Amino acid sequence: MKIALLSPFADISSIGIRSISAYLKAHGFSTRLVFLPLQKNFFSREPFVLYSDTVVDQLADLVRSDDLIGISLMSNFFDTVKDLTLRLKKRLPHKKIIWGGVHPTVMPAQCIEYADYVCIGEGEVPCCDLCRCIADGQPTDTIPGIWSRDDGRISQNPPQNIIIDLDQIPPLDYDLKDNFILIKKKRITELSACNMPANMGVTYWTMYSRGCPFSCSYCCNDAFRSIHKDLARLRCKSPQAMVDEILAILKKFPYVRYINFQDDTFFALSEEDIERFAVCYREHIDIPFLIPGINPNVFTERKFDCLVKSGLLRVRMGIQSGSKRIVQEVYMRHQNNDKIVEISQKLQKYSHKLTMPNYDIIVDCPWESQEDVLQTIALLDRLAPPFSLNIFSLQFFPGTRLYARAVKEGLFSEGSPFKPYYEYQRTYINLIIMLYALMKVPKWLLKLLLSKPLLSTNRTFERLHNILYNLILYRRGICSLIRRDYSMFPQSLQFLFCKMLPPPKNRT
């Protein structure tokens, strides 16, 4: 039996389908991986679009002989994947399609209207059980973690128990056999050793842990807990298993120069767990790594220090808002602004070893007053430079408490289209926040910018926003070049910079 696994995401890391593919192969099934990016990268401000008829025709021909089609999606890809599914069904009316990922987990009733099967929660075991039942000709309506639709009858099953021992899951599937990719939204071509560097770049994306101990009201982990108490439970691989996975990747793709850990909250692991990982990594691997997710509540200098010694090159920390009211009453987070400032000062101590840190800020919150935003600006003004900001427009993701509140209060309609994360409102006060992503704003200038006549303006500053946005990217690029962190550049530039000036080796 052969399963085609499709990914609409902007890059080919696609950790979810690669993990499921590896698990299926380990249990005797064949897979085909098809990467169908419609956006250049995660930071894109392009609107979400649909696939052309030409692309859908190519895809239908490619998967025609496969026994099952699986598609992974987040909520912002719902309309795209729904359209793709309906058009594939027209071309391949007898082909069964399963959806999995965050959105199907939190909105299975909506998704089962279009897919034949919906996977809820972690997909490795349910997908394997489904494939086994299909291959053996057994009923598929009682599989834990799988909703099914047959002749209008929907079978709803609770999630599978989570996998506690992550070492039971094989390393991500990077076997290039039967791998395909959509090029420039026009043509599906084979992904091979020849074109893999141009699509992969010099960074390997993976996850050391799963789950998150926090329940931020805007996050999918908040929704997961309402579905199954363990879906967001924090677990990690053994250090040796993680290191063995990376060593295998470095052997297969010797041009890889960075490891990017996409864990929700890497720093939520205990100091002992992180220290064991750091020591094992330092002993066996000699390339830097990146951790884009830090919650200030679980940051400790001991954790940070041992990771830096083992090759940590870049970090990203979620601040979201400087307003205590917004943080606690709206986002359901518990954070201390003084501790955030203290952490920024500790990061500054390592500025000679690290790429400039990035802090996440959420704007366009409908419950925010001007005073709340001013408190965020006040916090940014206290942070130790240099730093940059990732400024996200607040999104209401289905299944979260914030989504339910927004719908109840009439601030958001169910089924409303999603916009790119970076497509924030071009307001004057957001412009001030953007300035902090570019520089430490002088006191005299900040006082002028926060004067009442300016704060009361209703003007939009589209052109100035675009100029600042590009300047922020240029500044971030220059700082990355200085620290030899090329992981965020276009793939062609990554290889050029690595050849001219190789990335740093691990610190000892």
Query: From CA 471, how far away is CA 465, in angstroms rounded?
Result: 10
Query: From CA 453, how far away is CA 317, in angstroms rounded?
Result: 33
Query: Does pLDDT of 386 surpass 80?
Result: yes
Q: Hey, which CATH number is domain 2-168, 3.40.50.1470, 3.40.50.1700, 3.40.50.280, 2.40.128.50?
A: 3.40.50.280
- Model confidence band, residue 441 (pLDDT cutoffs 50, 70, 90): very high
Instruction: Name 275's Cβ contacts closer than 8 Å, sequence gap at least 6.
Output: 302, 303, 306
Q: What is the pLDDT of residue 421?
A: 78
| Strands, E assignment, 187-288 | 187-190, 203-206, 209-210, 235-236, 258-261
Torsion of CA 430, 431, 433, 435, to 10 degrees: 170
Q: Are the beta carbons of 190 and 182 closer than 8 angstroms?
A: no
Query: Does pLDDT of 214 surpass 50?
Result: yes
pTM for the full predicted model: 0.94
Cα separation values, 130 from 25, 213, 375, 444, Å? 14, 30, 51, 64
Q: Hey, which CATH number is domain 201-500, 3.20.20.70, 3.90.1150.10, 3.80.30.20, 3.40.50.720?
A: 3.80.30.20
Query: From CA 12, how far away is CA 435, in angstroms rounded?
Result: 33
Q: Are the beta carbons of 391 and 434 closer than 8 angstroms?
A: yes
Q: What are the structure tokens assigned to 489, written together? A: 């550049």
248 vs 353: which has the higher pLDDT: 248
- Give the number of other CB atoms < 10 A from CB of residue 386: 14
Q: Are the beta carbons of 62 and 188 closer than 8 angstroms?
A: yes
Query: Does pLDDT of 137 surpass 60?
Result: yes
Q: What is the pLDDT of residue 508?
A: 44
Q: What is the pLDDT of residue 129?
A: 98
Instruction: Name 360's Cβ contacts closer than 8 Å, sequence gap at least 6.
Output: 316, 317, 318, 319, 320, 389, 390, 392
Residue with tokens 């692309």: 55
Query: What's the whole-number mean pLDDT along residues 453-464?
Result: 90
Query: From CA 451, how far away is CA 446, in angstroms rounded?
Result: 9
Q: In what order do the strands lie in the sheet with 289-294?
A: 203-206, 258-261, 289-294, 312-320, 358-363, 388-393
Distance separating the N- and C-terminal Cα atoms of the chain: 49
Average pLDDT, the chain: 93
Query: From CA 244, how far away is CA 133, in angstroms rounded?
Result: 32
Query: What's the whole-number mean pLDDT along residues 121-135?
Result: 97
Query: From CA 341, how far away is CA 379, in angstroms rounded?
Result: 8
What's the pLDDT tens digit per position in 18-57? 999 999 999 999 999 999 998 766 555 666 679 999 999 9
Q: What is the pLDDT of residue 42?
A: 56
Three-state SS at 198: helix
Quick one: DSSP state of residue 239? H
What's the pLDDT tens digit per position in 296-348? 999 999 999 999 999 999 999 999 999 999 999 999 999 999 999 999 999 99
Percentage of residues of the chain with pLDDT beyond 70? 98
What's the pLDDT tens digit per position in 258-292? 999 999 999 999 999 999 999 999 999 999 999 98
The domains of the chain are located at 2-168, 201-500
Cβ neighbourhood burial of 102 (10 Å; 0-12, 13-18, 19+): buried
